[in-house]
Amino acid sequence: MKTPYITLDQVKDIAQTYPTPFYLYDEKGIRENARKVYKAFSWNKGFKEYFAVKATPNPSILRILKEEGCGTDCSSLTELQMSDACGFHGHDIMFSSNDTPLEEYKVANELGAIINLDDFTNIQELKDTLGSFPETMSLRYNPGGYFRIANTIMDNPQDAKYGMTTAQLIEGYRILKEGGVKHFGMHAFLASNTVTNDYYPTLAKELFELAVKIKAETGVELDFINLSGGVGVPYKPDQKPNDIEAIGEGVHRVFDEVLVPHGLGDIRIFTEMGRFMLAPYGALITKVIHFKHTYKEYAGVDACAVNLMRPAMYGAYHHITVLGKENAPCDHTYDVTGSLCENNDKFAIDRELPELEKGDYLFIHDAGAHGFAMGYNYNGKLWSAELLLREDGSVKLIRRAETPKDYFATLDIDDCMKKYL
C-alpha cells in the first residue's frame, strides 16, 4: 500500500490559501532519494546524475537537486535557460536533443554544456554552426533490434527515432577525434520505466563492451558513459520497487569485469533518472466535486487530464489515496473523471476506493515526474499551482496557478481580448 506524505488536515489548511487542484512535492523525500543514488554509485569517482529537466521543470526543484550534487539534462532552449538561471553551468549541463534547431547548439555551447549528438549528420552540422568542435563531445547510440533482459523483451530500439547505429557511432568518433575533440562520451536510452534491478547492469554491459570496441577500432578512450534514464518506479502498489543500491552494485560488477581489464577503469558513469528521482515525491491533490450515476458510478474531481495526462494518454495507472480514509474499506467502484470534453479524461477506471463524498481530497501518487510538465490548455483549462512541502513541514508556493489573463496573453494582438487582459 502506498502512503501519502501529507495528512488530510494539512491539505485542508493548504487549500485555504491554494485551492485545489495543485501539485505538492516532498523536499525531504527528494533529498533522501538523491543521496541514496549518489551512495549507490560512490564507487565511481566521477559519477554524476543529470536530472532530466523535462520531467519536472521547476527552478525550486532544480535548485534542491543542485544542492545534492546533480546536474541537468536539457533538450530544449528553455530547459537550457532555466538551468542557467538556476546556476548550472559548464559540464553540469548535458544537452541531448533530436531534430535540434541549430541556434540551440549555439546556446548550449555558450553555456559550456556537454553536447550529446543524436544523429550522424549532426556532427557536420554542429561543426558548421560553431566553427569547430567543443573539446568534449558525446554521441548517442542505438543498437537496433530488441533490448532484452534474460529472455524478456524490454523495449524495441529499432523503432526508436533516437541514436546512431554502431557503424555510424564508430565513424563519428573518428571524425570527432580528427576534428580536435579531446574528451569523448557515449549515451544510450533503450527502455523506459523499467521496474527491475537488472536494467542498468544489462545496459551498462552492452555499452562497456562497445567502449572496448571503440578503443580498439578508433583509439578513442571514452571519458564517460551516460546510462541515461529508464530506471522506473512502481506505480502499482503490488510492484516491487527498484533497489538503487543493488542497481549501482550491478553496474559496478560489469564495470570491473569489462572495462578495468582493458585499461578503461577511469571512465565516469552518468545517469539521467528523471522519473526515479522525482515521481514518488510529487502528487496531484484534487477534490471530489460531483457524482454521476448511469451505467457506471462516476466521481468527478476538480482536476482533469490537463493537470495529469498520463492516465488519459497512456492508460497509465496512478494510485489514489482518499485522504482521511486511508484505513477505510475499498468497497465502492468508481471511474474518477475530470471535466474535459474527452471521454478518456479519467484518472482511474473501475477503481475500488472507499465510499467517496463531495469535498473528499484525493492524493494521486507518483505524479512528481512527467506530471505537471506534460500539462496543456485544452478546453481553456488552466495550469495548476505547484507547491513544495519543506523539510520543516511548511509549504512554499513554487509556481502560481495560471490565470485567464495568462491564458489570453499571446492574444494581446487582438483588440477584442483587451477586456480580459
**Neighbouring C-beta atoms of residue 246, cutoff 10 Å:** 14
DSSP-based three-state secondary structure for 63: helix
Grid coordinates of 189: 536510452
Rg (CA), the chain: 23
CA-based torsion, 104, 107, 111, 115: positive or negative: positive
390 CB neighbour count, 10 Å cutoff: 13
User: Residue 131 gets which letter from DSSP?
Assistant: S
Query: How many Å apart are CA 256 and CA 251, to the nearest integer?
Result: 9
Looking at the annotation, which residues are catalytic? 341
**Which residue bears the cell 489573463?**
405
Instruction: Decide: 184 and 169 in contact? Cβ < 8 Å.
Output: no
CA–CA distances in Å: residue 412 to residues 381, 406, 417? 19, 11, 7
**Which three cell numbers, joined as nine digits, stand for 381?**
483549462
Map grid coordinates 543529470 to a residue: 50
Strands 361-364 and 332-337: unpaired
DSSP codes, 66-124: HHTT-EEEE-SHHHHHHHHHTT--GGGEEEE-SS--HHHHHHHHHTTPEEEE-STHHHH
Residue by residue, what is the 3-state secondary structure of 333-381? Answer: EEEEECCCCCCCCEEEEEEEECCCCCCCEEEECCCCCCCHHHCCCHHHC
